[in-house]
Structure 1
Amino acid sequence: MNGSGKDDKQRNRVIAKNEAERQTTGDIRVSAWTIVFAIIVGAIAVYIVWAWLHR
C-alpha cells in the first residue's frame, strides 16, 4: 500500500474517533435533559396527589 493510502486510513481513524466522542457527548446531554424532565414531571405528579389527598 502506498503512503497516501496509509495517510487516508489514519485520517479516517481520527475522524471516526472524533465522531464517537461527539456522539457520546450528545448522548450524555440528552440523558441529562431526560433526567431533569422526569424529575419535573414526578414533582408535578407528587404535588397533584398530595393536593388531592389534602383537599
Structure 2
Amino acid sequence: MMDTGNANKARNRQIAQNEEAKQVAGSARVSVWAIAMAVVVGGILFTLGWLSLR
C-alpha cells in the first residue's frame, strides 16, 4: 500500500513538472508574438509619421 502511494506521488510530481514546462513554453511563445507585433506596429507608425513630415 505504501509503495502505491509513493508511486502515485511520483507520478503526480512528474505530471506537474510536465504541465509547468508546457506553460513556460506557451508563455515564451506568446511573448515572442507580442514583441513581433509591437515591432510591426511600431514600424508602421514610424513610417506613417515619417511620411507625414515629408
TM-score between both structures, scaled by the size of structure 1:
0.94
| Regions of 4+ moved over 3 Å | none
Unaligned runs of at least 5 residues, structure 2: none
Could you tell me how far apart the structure 2 residues matched to 1:18 and 1:2 are? Answer: 25
Could you tell me how far apart the structure 1 residues matched to 2:14 and 2:2 are? Answer: 19
Unaligned runs of at least 5 residues, structure 1: none
What are the within-5 Å matches in structure 2 for residues 4-43 of structure 1?
A: 4-43=4-43
Q: Percent of aligned pairs with the same residue?
A: 43
Task: Give the total of aligned pairs.
Answer: 54
> What is the alpha-carbon root mean square deviation over aligned residues?
0.9
